[in-house]
Amino acid sequence: MRELGDTVAAVLGRRALRSVPVMLVLTAAAALEWWPGCGGASQNVSRELIRKSLRSTICSPAKIERTLGLPSTSMLRDGVADEIAWLQRESLL
């Protein structure tokens, strides 16, 4: 997630965000889950989502390359740049 965030910031020409201690974020999420009127389970931030975002998400393209018989040549920065360009063209960003 850190690499993705840093890449998005770089493509947008912005400074990467500073890290926040995990325990602070989990504590804030717990307070939001507990506090009446903050949405409970339907809210956008939860301890479960934060823990999920902290898991390693390194994926190998080997299976899709074998299945389709095509090499995967996209680099993260190129993919992010393409996505951001599309979002900007569509006035979504």
Q: What is the pLDDT of residue 56?
A: 81
Mean pLDDT of 38-63: 77
Annotated domain spans of the chain:
1-58, 60-93
pLDDT at 42 over 60: no
Instruction: Give this prediction's pTM.
Output: 0.60
Alpha carbon distance 5, 51 (integer Å): 16
> Distance between CA 80 and CA 11 in Å, rounded?
7
DSSP classification of residue 41: G
pLDDT at 74: 78
Q: Are 46 and 34 in contact (CB under 8 A)?
A: no
Residue of higher predicted confidence among 90 and 48: 90
What is the rounded CA–CA span in Å between residue 51 and residue 62?
27
- Residue range 60-67: average pLDDT? 88
pLDDT value at 27 more than 70 = yes
CA-nearest of 13, 11, 14 to 83 is: 11
